Chains A and B, each alone.
Chain A
Amino acid sequence: MDFDLSEDQRLLQDSLSKLLKDKYGFEQRKGYMKSETGWSRDVWAAYAELGLLGMPFAEEDGGLGYGAVETMIVAEQMGRSLTLEPFMSTVVMGGGFLRHGATAEQRAAMVPEIAAGNLLLAFAHTEPQSRFDLNDVATTAKKDGAGWAIDGRKGVVVHGDTADQLIVTARISGARRDRDGIGVFLVPANAQGVTRRGFGTSDGQRAADITFDNVKVGAEAELKGGLALAERVVDETMAALSAEAIGCMEAAKDLTVDYLKTRKQFGRPIGSFQSLQHRAAEMMVCLEQARSMAMLAAMMASEPDAAERRRQMRAVKIEIGRNARFVGQQTVQMHGGIAMTMEYAGGHYLKRLTVIENMFGDMDHHLAALSEEGGVFLAA
């Protein structure tokens, strides 16, 4: 049992932390948000230079062969700086689909492009009726000669507005909520019949509502694995999101504690009031419990037993959500009015944490499912 980072991992953490200190001050971030893409191509190129974009891919595919712990390190740093770039969409999710579901030829064609920062991916799964259920797929894929024709609508495709390739779940057979009969397809964003409407998300990131109208793709566009593939990638993504949440919570906690020490009311620092001290201490308890779960997530991300991995990830997502909500809300409450403003970072942490809480299933969703699956500790 060892929770320490290796020398290489520490190096990775330090170099990214240095890069973000340099390029991701809160004022710089505001500028990136206002740009056309809603994030920084310049920073994306710097990630590529650091090797972050090829991180999870096998070396023979042109990547670095890193694992979930490295992803955790990177995501945590990005959480601290509230980065806006499509790392989660392209590298964690897109990367996951390519690693587990693509052919060697597809990987050979795409991985070097992703690693170089030239190719962006996005995962299109949410539909108007699906809520958090990955198996609820009304979008269809029908045989069309040797290939497929895809029809349907996907909403809230994070970074779908700038992606070059979309990874789309579509129903090949069966009823809307069947677990069987779901295919995962690689669809070029500029294919005929794809219409994208980009919009901003509540945390200041970008997403798209995308319709597919008789979009024709080749037979090779279907990745191998169906729903199980999507669930595996989502589990890995939940691990990375948990780490990002840790970064957000830690930065929010630090910001809050600094404020408690400097803000004076009634002639003394407000941090001298016990009611605020106790709440700050509770924030720390929440952060540490959440951190423990993010570590569990990094460990479980590569668990081959899918049912076991799923159950543990649900537990992770629930606990991250609970603690993220407390830390986010208290960051605003203990700051007072200043954290209600767009000008100040505090409220932005609450926003990102709220988005993470509601991605890939909220607390109630996973609590219900985990209860159904027998809970965390199964009878021996």
Chain B
Amino acid sequence: MELRFTEEERAFRQEVREWIDANLPAETRERMASGRTPTKAMQVDWQKRLYAKGWAVPHWPVEWGGQPWSAIKRFILSEEIQSTPAPTPLGFNCNMLGPVMVAFGTEEQKKHFLPKIANLDLWFCQGFSEPGAGSDLASLKTRAVREGDHYIVNGQKTWTTLAQHADWIFLLVRTDPGAAKQQEGISFLIADMKTPGITVRPIITVDGAHEVNEVFFDDVKVPVANLIGTENRGWDCAKFLLSNERTGQARVGASKERIRRLKLIAKEAPGGARPVMEDPRFRSRLTDVEVQLKALEMTTLRVLADENRALSQRKPNPASSVLKIRGTELQQAISELYVMAAGPYGLVSADPEADRWNEPEVAQDWQTLAQATYFNWRKQSIYGGSTEIQKNIMAKAFLGL
């Protein structure tokens, strides 16, 4: 048992830190440090820089732009990106579609798409959820009927994150409504968002943000060449996708950065007789979250060390289920601490997407974002398999209940 980073790993962390400092555009860093999400242009520009450096998709096979690194080394890169903070490589491209295409795609698909996915030449969005298929994803109804060299797709997807930026979509469709089990008649397609019949309609979330969308498919012609894997076996792709990169969901690096910033903010934030940070109850709550985050960091490292093993020697690790559940709980808890620190000036509402977003400048930037972020982050324990779904999985897979 050796729980310390090696000399080489520490040197790598330093190298990453210096490279990010030298290459991250100042506007991007500033926007992210204020707690806002990057613009599309910032995201694309940053991912192209990472790709040129060989760091956009280190977890992919080397022939497709990956690195022969240990899981720990990949973790260090991702933690440094999160804690700068800099934009994380687009998850839909790098963690979801990319690995699915590597595992299930044809040589032609890989050659054509993988470089564009990794370099964010094409922005993909995810068409999984439907109005009637949330946690019970396999009950999805969007229909694809084969006609010659095309599928004709009809139906509706929802909660499609950043579809307004997307060039392409990957989606689950029902190709065999008569299959014995509902999981068996599903296929995995990709489609150009410019295809006639695709309509994107914004959904505005409670915080006022336009992050998610509804996507409607009305007689959309998708070439059969855009099928990933085997027809009616799309559920295999979906399961593979959902089981990938669980360590990423803990987002420990990002949470540590948010805590670090909160401590600086709370030292200055007026709290009546004393700054907020000097209120022992606030400080104790903050420390309590830090303690749990430390435990989550250790759990993440345990899962990573496990991922370093050869596939054949790996056992399903219950610690990995902890990451999604506690990781999202802690991100939410941190957002609550920001709300507490902001106090009455947290009531000021702003539109973080607007150019002159904090005008009239009634409150400080972080104050106007505190409640919006808190509201927005309620989503974290819902998406990607809600906390309740995670517990169902744990009870079945690890406890045999």
**Which stretch of A109-117, A126-134, A290-298 is in the interface?**
A290-298
Per the bound structure, the CA–CA distance linking A176 and B266 in Å amounts to 35
- CB 8 Å contact bits of A197-241 with B (1 = contact, 0 = none): 000000000000000000000000000000000000000000000
Q: A284-B399, A288-B299 given as contacts; is B3 within 8 A of A3 (CB)?
A: yes
- From B23-31, B32-40, B194-202, B290-298, the one touching the partner chain is B290-298
Interface string of B365-401 (1 = CB under 8 A from A): 0000000000000000000000010111011001111
- Is B319 a contact partner of A257 (Cβ separation < 8 A)? no
Determine if B395 and A278 form an interchain contact, defined as CB atoms under 8 angstroms apart. yes
Q: Are A284 and B394 in contact (CB under 8 A)?
A: yes
**Whole-angstrom distance between the Cβ of B22 and the nearest chain A Cβ:** 18
Is there a chain B Cβ closer than 8 Å to A63's Cβ?
A: no
Is B150 interfacial (CB 8 A cutoff)? no
B215 part of interface (Cβ distance < 8 Å): no
Q: Which residues of A contact B1 (CB under 8 A)?
A: 2-6, 9, 69, 295, 298
Contact of A3 among B290, B302, B391 (CB under 8 A): B302
Inter-chain contact total with CB atoms closer than 8 Å: 148
Partner of A375, one of B263, B264, B399: B263
Total residues of chain A contacting the partner, CB 8 A: 45
Distance between Cα atoms of A2 and B284 in the complex (Å): 32
* 8 A Cβ contacts from B1-57 to A: 1-6, 9
Contacting chain B: which of A27-35, A83-91, A164-172, A363-371? A363-371
Query: Would B286 and A299 count as touching, CB distance under 8 A?
Result: no
Instruction: Say yes or no: B2 contacts A278, CB within 8 Å.
Output: no
A-contact bits for B270-311, CB 8 A (1 contact / 0 none): 000000000010011011101111111011011011101000
Which residue on chain B has the smallest CB distance to residue A286? B322
> Residue-by-residue, is A305-321 near B (CB-CB < 8 Å gives 1, otherwise 0)?
00000001001001100
Are A280 and B4 touching (Cβ within 8 A)? no
Which of B280, B302, B388, B395 sits near A295, CB closer than 8 Å? B302
Q: In the complex where A272-B401, A284-B394 touch, is A370 in contact with B388 (Cβ < 8 A)?
A: no
Contact of A280 among B295, B325, B395 (CB under 8 A): B395
* Majority secondary structure of chain B interface residues (helix, strand, loop or mixed): helix
B256 at the interface (CB under 8 A from A): yes
Distance, CA A302 to CA B367, complexed state (A): 42
Inter-chain contact A278/B391, CB cutoff 8 Å: yes
Decide yes or no whether A377 CB sits under 8 A from chain B: yes
Is B335 in the interface zone, CB < 8 Å from A? no
The answer to whether A370 and B299 have CB atoms under 8 Å apart is no
Residue of B with least CB distance to A315: B291
Q: Which residues of A contact B74 (CB under 8 A)?
A: none
Measured between beta carbons, the chain A residues less than 8 angstroms from B256 are 377
Candidate in B5, B263, B394 with the most chain A CB atoms within 10 angstroms: B394
> Is B175 part of the contact surface with A, judged by Cβ < 8 Å?
no
A315–B290 Cα distance when bound, in Å, is 8
Query: For residue B391, which residues in chain A have a CB less than 8 angstroms away from its CB?
Result: 277-278, 281-282
Q: List residues of chain B with CB within 8 A of the CB of A2.
A: 1-3, 305
How many chain B residues touch A (CB < 8 A): the figure is: 50
Chain A residue numbers with a CB within 8 Å of B399 are: 257, 260, 271, 277, 280-281, 284
Given the known interface contacts A1-B72, A257-B401, A288-B299, the answer about A278 and B388 at a Cβ–Cβ threshold of 8 Å is yes
Do the beta carbons of A293 and B305 come within 8 Å of each other?
no
Knowing A1-B2, A277-B391, A295-B298, the reply to whether A376 touches B290 (Cβ < 8 A) is: yes
Q: Give the docked Cα–Cα distance between A278 and B299 (Å).
A: 20
In the complex, what residues of B have CB within 8 A of residue A289's CB? Answer: 292, 295-296, 299, 322, 326
- A170-B319 Cα distance, complex, nearest whole Å: 44
- Asked whether B321 is an interface residue with its Cβ less than 8 Å from the other chain, the reply is yes
Neighbouring A residues of B319 by C-beta, 8 Å = 288, 291-292
Q: Which B residues touch A370, using CB under 8 A?
A: 287, 291
Contacts A289-B326, A376-B290 given; indicate if A299 touches B4 (C-beta within 8 A).
yes
Q: For B5, B290, B388, which residue has the most chain A Cβ atoms within 10 angstroms?
A: B290
Q: Cβ of A293 and Cβ of B295 under 8 Å apart?
A: yes
Q: Can you sample 11 A-B contacts with CB below 8 Å?
A: A1-B2, A1-B301, A1-B308, A3-B302, A271-B401, A281-B321, A284-B398, A295-B3, A375-B286, A376-B294, A377-B256
User: Chain B residues in contact with chain A, CB under 8 A?
Assistant: 1-6, 9, 72, 256, 259-260, 263-264, 280, 283-284, 286-288, 290-296, 298-299, 301-302, 304-306, 308, 318-319, 321-322, 325-326, 388, 390-392, 394-395, 398-401
Query: 7 closest Cβ contacts across the A-B interface?
Result: A292-B298, A277-B395, A281-B391, A281-B394, A376-B290, A299-B3, A271-B401
